Amino acid sequence: MAMGLLFSTFANAQGTPLIGNVLNRQTTSLNGNWNYIVDVQEEGYYDYRMNPTQWGFFRNAKPQRPEDLVEYDFDKSPTMPIPSDWNTRDERLFFYEGTVWFKKSFDWKQKEGRRTLLYFGAANYDTYVWVNGKKAGHHIGGFTPFNFDVTESLKEGENVVIVKVDNKRHAEDVPTQIFDWWNYGGITRDVLLVDVAPLYIENYSLQLQKPLLMKQGQPIANQQLQCSVQLSKAEANQQITLNIPELKIKKVLTTDKEGKATLSFTAKPQLWSPESPKLYEVNLTINGENLSDKIGFRSIETKEKQILLNGKPIFLKGISMHEEKPNGGGRANSTADAHTLLSWAKELGCNFVRLAHYPHNEYAIREAERMGILVWSEIPVYWTIAWTNPQTYQNAQDQLRDMIARDQNRANIIIWSIANETPHSAEREAFLGKLATYARTQDNTRLISMAMEVTGASNYVNRLNDAMNKYVDVISFNQYIGWYRDVNDAPKMKWEIPYDKPVIVSEFGGGAKYGNRGEKNQRWTEEFQENLYEQNIAMLDKIEGLSGTTPWILKDFRSPRRVLPGVQDYYNMKGLFSDKGEKKKAFYIMQNWYKTK
């Protein structure tokens, strides 16, 4: 099987596959202030369904005569900065789940012989897009990118994009109806117009091939790399030049009848690692048009109960993170947001972050790569999914595919996670087994894992028993001894992991309100959380094959499930940092422990 991405065709409603490496292409930003209309009863869409050629907010209609009835006006409606979320941008919408319409006007001059894609980094959750009244496409999923070819819909001069975003929860969705984070609605990531040639590089993969070549326990200089390229059209005999100047590599790839090209070759790269996050300038050129990237090369594999990075055992000193702004809640959406959060993780002593429970912003992945932080990236198959619903499975697979397609060239991503805390059943195992198998067809250079659920202990012995063990490379599980079970049980607890695979404890922890002081047996105090961490790390040190931890969680985050007045106030308080970046006492327990690792 070829290394890297084995390209699959994803056609959205208009048949435009997802474009890779959008941040390094020729783009025009549509970020900024957009007008918006809150449509609680979906009048604008109901009208569209009744008569799509005459009615609907997408038409941006204006009265032409005094007697004309038009009961909306985008231009007189308020504005909201995009990207953002409506829950924190409009206090009236703090708890709102439903439909909001967005409108952006912009001037455009189409370049002769070029195509234009309209790209969304993400919109939560169910999104319809129109350009100048023409439907561009439809996308489902709150955390993966999508794009549409809108060349034929654009015109010289003023253009209008109208977007309907609906974040209502449903049992058959991914994530499902109930989850423990804020359901931020809106256009939450960048909106870009992407300028491309009629034939362009749609996506590509450049990877260090397995196995890593070793001599006397050390990686040798000469390693095998593989480059795979997919063009936007199925055209054979197209030549693509790959150039890595620092490595003195210049190669030509030739496409087959499907517009794909693959080439393996020898190179002498310095391997990317947390201590030395080396990235190389890479250029791919077709018909005189160049696409650049910064790519690192590293090896990740397992051997019995060890995780090996570049052929050497590594302990993953991690922390779990939500994609929420460092101060005040709201969806994080910039490099600055990512840098602040990741700097807190570095201060804790982390070389690894678990980006829960969905694909995070591309800026966060790239900033972590630049900072030398390894990444666990996850899709929101969370708790009790509709396991037997074919559409639910397809939704999960689509999100997995697009997560991998966007980030496959980021050296710091070492784990694709397919689920979190899913209760055991035959239906669940069929669903997740199929997902894990699919993930390997998309990228077989990384590890597969999932956060398993521990169902209970007998006589203070936890024996992990999960049929998914055969599908994953790393055994990961969540446990909350000290929070959902008496902390005094921790010293007595033993763990039996009957699989010859490395172990990551993907969640543990408990809540505390910053500045709330008291006895160590008093809930919500920093002393309670501090003691919980002390007891847990002493217990975790006894787990055979422990290769890393990602305690829950870096910072306090908004959650509608957390309603205790004066303590939670709709925040999950399990952070080692407060929402404002203040360190709780448990922070220092983890920091000191990681220094010993």
Say yes or no to pLDDT of 1 above 60: no
What's residue 458's pLDDT? 76
Q: What is the 3-state secondary structure (H, E, C) of 515-547?
A: CCCCCCCCCECHHHHHHHHHHHHHHHCCCCCEE
Q: How confident is the model at residue 53 (pLDDT cuts 50, 70, 90)?
A: low
DSSP string, 76-93: GS-EEEES--HHHH-GGG
pLDDT single digits (tens) 428-443: 999 999 999 999 999 9
pLDDT single digits (tens) 255-296: 999 999 999 999 999 999 999 999 999 999 999 999 999 999
What's residue 217's pLDDT? 86
Domain 213-298 has CATH 2.60.40.10: yes
The continuous run of DSSP H or E covering 120 comes out as: strand 115-120
State mean pLDDT over 189-197: 98
* Long-range CB contact pairs, 53-60, < 8 A, 24+: 57/101, 57/162, 57/164, 58/128, 58/130, 58/133, 58/135, 58/162, 58/164, 59/133, 60/103, 60/133, 60/160, 60/162
What's residue 10's pLDDT? 35
Q: How confident is the model at residue 85 (pLDDT cuts 50, 70, 90)?
A: very high
- Report the predicted TM-score, pTM, of the whole model to 2 decimal places: 0.95
What's residue 47's pLDDT? 57
State mean pLDDT over 168-173: 97
The count of other CB atoms within 10 Å of the CB of residue 223 is 18
- Separate counts of helices (H) and strands (E) for the chain: 8, 34
Say yes or no to pLDDT of 179 above 60: yes
Kindly report the CATH number that applies to the domain delimited by 315-595.
Answer: 3.20.20.80
Interatomic CA distance for residues 354 and 377, integer angstroms: 7
Phi/psi at 554 (nearest 5 deg)?
A: -60, -55
The continuous run of DSSP H or E covering 134 comes out as: strand 134-140
Helix (H, G, I), strand (E, B) or coil at 577: strand
Residue whose structure tokens are 């543990």: 508
**Count of CA atoms in the C-beta half-sphere (13 A) of 546:** 18
Question: Any idea which of 5-14, 40-49, 65-74 has the lowest mean pLDDT?
Answer: 5-14
Picking from 587, 592, 509, 595, the residue whose alpha carbon sits closest to that of residue 550 is: 509
What's residue 60's pLDDT? 93
Domain ranges of the chain: 22-196, 213-298, 315-595
- Which residues lie closer than 8 Å to 218 by C-beta, 6 or more apart? 311
What's residue 136's pLDDT? 97
Tokens of 198: 């009629």
Q: How confident is the model at residue 456 (pLDDT cuts 50, 70, 90)?
A: low
User: Judging by DSSP bridges, how do beta strands 223-231 and 260-267 pair with one another?
Assistant: antiparallel
Percentage of residues of the chain with pLDDT beyond 70: 95
Say yes or no to pLDDT of 491 above 90: no
Longest distance between any two alpha carbons in the chain, whole Å:
86
State mean pLDDT over 62-71: 89
Question: Any idea which of 52-66, 164-178, 485-499, 500-514 has the lowest mean pLDDT?
Answer: 52-66
Say yes or no to pLDDT of 234 above 80: yes
Picking from 34, 185, 186, 187, the residue whose alpha carbon sits closest to that of residue 95 is: 185
Say yes or no to pLDDT of 243 above 80: yes
CATH architecture of 22-196: Sandwich (2.60)
What's residue 16's pLDDT? 81
Helix (H, G, I), strand (E, B) or coil at 304: coil
Q: How confident is the model at residue 54 (pLDDT cuts 50, 70, 90)?
A: low
pLDDT single digits (tens) 321-370: 999 999 887 999 999 999 999 999 999 999 999 999 999 999 999 999 99
pLDDT single digits (tens) 377-431: 999 999 999 999 999 999 999 999 999 999 999 999 999 999 999 999 999 999 9
Interatomic CA distance for residues 461 and 478, integer angstroms: 15
Picking from 293, 294, 292, 289, the residue whose alpha carbon sits closest to that of residue 238 is: 289
State mean pLDDT over 108-127: 96
Q: How confident is the model at residue 314 (pLDDT cuts 50, 70, 90)?
A: very high
Listed in order, strand segments (DSSP E) in 322-407 are: 352-355, 374-378
What's residue 575's pLDDT? 98
Say yes or no to pLDDT of 170 above 50: yes
State mean pLDDT over 463-492: 91
State mean pLDDT over 95-100: 98
Percentage of residues of the chain with pLDDT beyond 90: 88
- Mean pLDDT for all residues in the chain: 94
Say yes or no to pLDDT of 452 above 50: yes
State mean pLDDT over 13-21: 78
Say yes or no to pLDDT of 6 above 60: no
